[in-house]
Chains A and B, each alone.
Chain A
Amino acid sequence: MDFRPKIVAFLCNWCAYTGADLAGTSRIHYAPNIRIIRIMCSGRIEPTFILKAFQQGADGVLVCGCHPGDCHYQEGNYKCLRRFKLLQKFTRQMGIEKDRLRLEWISASEGKQFAELVNDMTKTLLSMGPSKVKSSLEVEHLNV
């Protein structure tokens, strides 16, 4: 069967999630490959969440927060950015390609931009093919 990438997206409640809702209310269509998880602030996101998503078989993980300066909690998005940069180094070590993990800023009025973002990411993932993480983990299980 043809490859349908799955994207797990973590959206902050105040900007990105609202933006995603706006995409809905203004009926902007985008690829159905995304699964949105709501958190209060991008600053809440832990590396574990992202790794868990990959481990569960996600082909891509998307993190969206408020634009710099717009954070509802002053600077959560900056903290997120810092952690993200570190995590990226690590995930690449793990053999997870750079483009599988993205951090983007989406404001509450950027429904359109959000839709475009999802489509774009889906496209890249399609070209990259499925993520190896899950399968490799399963293999290890067999060895044990």
Chain B
Amino acid sequence: MEEPRIGVYVCWCGTNISKMVDVEAVTNEVKALPNVTIAKNYKYMCSDPGQDLIIKDIKLHNLNRVVVAACSPRIHELTFRTACEKAGINPYLFEMANVREQDSWVHTDRTEATNKAIDLVVAAIRRVRYHEPLQKRFVNVNPATLIIGGGISGLTAALEIANAGKQVYLVEKSDQLGGQVKKFDLTFPHLSSAQQMIRPIVQRVDNHPNISVFLETEIREVTGYIGNFKTAISVNGGDPVELEFGNIIAAVGLKPFNPEVISEYNYKEFPDVITSFEFEEKLLAGRILTVYGKEPRNVAIIHCVGSRNKKYHEYCSRVCCMAALKYVHQVRAALPSANIFEIYADMRAYGKGHEEFYALTTHRQIMFLMYDQQKKLPVINQADRSDNCNMIIEMDELLSGQSIEVPVDMVILMVNMEAQENVKQVVRAIGVSLCGNQFFIEKHPKLDPVATTTGGVYIIGTCQGPKDIPDSVAQARAAAARILGAIAQGSVPIEVTTASVNELLCCGCQTCIGVCPYKAISYDENNKVSIVNEILCKGCGTCGSACPAGAIISKHFTDLQILSEIEGVMSMS
């Protein structure tokens, strides 16, 4: 590699730097250093004339390295890199010394500050000597998308992408599309018909030219990386079909919790203790009847079944409260004279229009009873003849402080939503991870709720955590936006300052594979060396420091660069 010819530029930043740092002294100090071809200072390096100065010098003195001592690289690194590029040298052959935020602004002794500045500049000079040109890299994105799960989120995402004219492969485990919503009669809080809502969507998906639906199909294994995934699926036992796609959306949803394990409720013991999903079936069939074919005179709805209780699931299922209030209206309409008991823990009417819906429900001749979902669950017992009802619920009512008996003929258990059985298999296939509650882990709980740490793989809807329809749908679109964005670009940029393995040094100990948070490193059995997939690598450098053989180079942060920077900062003492 050619001898480094370094141009050093010290910025005054008006008086911001020059007030506390003797800019001239710094310049003179470094002029003489080896490989420093030229050292200058200027009032505002970031200003256009400042940048022009650099560009001119690069051309004039054919510099191949540039150091700028100015503000924080977080502010102007990009500016100067672009300047270098303009002048025709690789932007990564540039280094910045932070002499404003981390020197002139924080110190009060001019000589001290100046010395520090010199150290920092020298360090930058030493470091930049070992910089290597790096190229921006992209991978092409296959415009097709694989969506796993045909629930409301999956369907929405599919339509969103397909309507943009892009191919979608929609894979559904069961024999029909529509997911959980298809099992509902009404939706809250506007009590609109779920069937009327979902049917046309399923129709549209079925007839969409850009969507190919695979029912009764599961994803076993996915190979490849962002932009270029592959999988083979066998449609109901037929010979496997090879699919290629650039992005994956997981929308596998959740399944209802089985309350048999909760002894207090005697689910299955008492035939008229039913889950919310079983109740929806009754609603769809049009009749609310007990097993004795009678209309219940007393109906109790118990919230938080399997939720918010360490014995079952600690998390809140987010939708049950509102669904329960929905049932109040439905039972009241069908059974005008029935007594309805809403046995709840906290009323979670948090969404748009929910609190209003809750208020409305209180006018429907209903009795709210509060229990402690952690310490003492209500107990459902068989009733005596004298009670003239089928069952008796015994509970401690919190708001009155009374322990009470509630006569009931039918009990609806608002069951928690929990992970599907096959979730582990999906997770393994698409290379994402699960949290303690068996929910898919998003890339960032706040700023990236739909992406995952695996590029090109997105998670939407309830598999990321319980959600109501609007929130699921919003997530579905969010993922669609990402994917459409990537497709529109045709390619996605990937990290430049990645790690790479020097195969000559690699001893094949595979330590690096263990430490990589992105599963970017794999082991090449034939050559007995580790290989970094630079598409998956995010360049944190953890592997580099773990490698006992020093075989892993983390680009732009190589040992050599950092060590010489250390020498640099210490050189003047």
Contacts and interface: CB of A to CB of B under 8 A. Distances in A.
* A adjacent to B, CB under 8 Å: yes
A43 B573 contact: no
B545 A46 contact: yes
A75 B515 CA distance: 9
B129 to A, nearest CB: 16
A20 B102 contact: yes
Contacts, number: 117
A41 B542 contact: yes
Contacts of B390: none
Interface in A46-76: 46, 48-49, 52-53, 56-58, 72-76
A81 interface: no
A21 B70 CA distance: 13
B541 A43 contact: yes
Given A24-B100, A24-B105, A49-B563, A73 B112 contact: no
A106 interface: no
B104 to A, nearest CB: 8
Contacts of B74: 17-18, 21
B179 interface: no
Interface string B542-555: 10111000000010
Given A6-B573, A32-B109, A37 B565 contact: yes
Nearest to B104: A24
B542 A56 contact: no
A45 interface: yes
B566 A52 contact: yes
Contact of A41 (B103, B120, B123, B540): B540
B18 to A, nearest CB: 16
B539 interface: yes
Interface string A1-25: 0000010100000000110110111
A48 B106 contact: no
Contact of A24 (B101, B544, B563): B101
A29 interface: yes
Given A37-B566, A53-B570, A32 B113 contact: yes
A36 B102 contact: yes
B151 to A, nearest CB: 29
Given A23-B106, A24-B105, A76-B540, A40 B566 contact: no
A5 B570 CA distance: 11
Contacts of B107: 29-30, 32
A35 interface: yes
Contacts of B123: 35, 37
A44 B554 contact: yes
Main secondary structure of the interface of B (DSSP, over half): helix
- How big is chain A's contact interface, by range? 35 or more
A102 interface: no
B508 interface: no
A6 B567 CA distance: 13
B163 to A, nearest CB: 35
A38 interface: yes
A41 B515 CA distance: 13
Contacts of B105: 24-25, 27
A52 B74 CA distance: 27
B553 to A, nearest CB: 12
Contacts of A74: 453, 517
A98 interface: no
Contacts of A36: 98, 102, 120
B98 A73 contact: no
Contacts of B569: 8, 35, 37
B97 to A, nearest CB: 10
B101 A20 contact: yes
A29 B108 contact: yes
A24 B70 CA distance: 13
B541 A35 contact: no
A115 B106 CA distance: 9
A44 B570 contact: no
Contacts of B554: 40, 44
A1 B73 CA distance: 35
A52 B108 CA distance: 29
Given A25-B101, A29-B106, A6 B570 contact: yes
B541 A40 contact: yes
A46 B559 contact: yes
Nearest to A6: B573
Contacts of B538: 73
Interface of A: 6, 8, 17-18, 20-21, 23-25, 27-30, 32, 35-41, 43-46, 48-49, 52-53, 56-58, 72-76, 79, 83, 115
Given A38-B98, A44-B557, A72-B540, 19 more contacts: A20-B102, A21-B102, A23-B102, A25-B105, A32-B107, A32-B113, A35-B120, A37-B565, A39-B557, A39-B562, A40-B554, A46-B559, A52-B563, A52-B566, A53-B566, A57-B570, A58-B570, A79-B546, A83-B545
Interface of B: 72-74, 98, 100-103, 105-109, 112-113, 115-116, 119-120, 123, 453, 497, 515, 517, 538-542, 544-546, 554, 557, 559, 562-563, 565-567, 569-570, 573
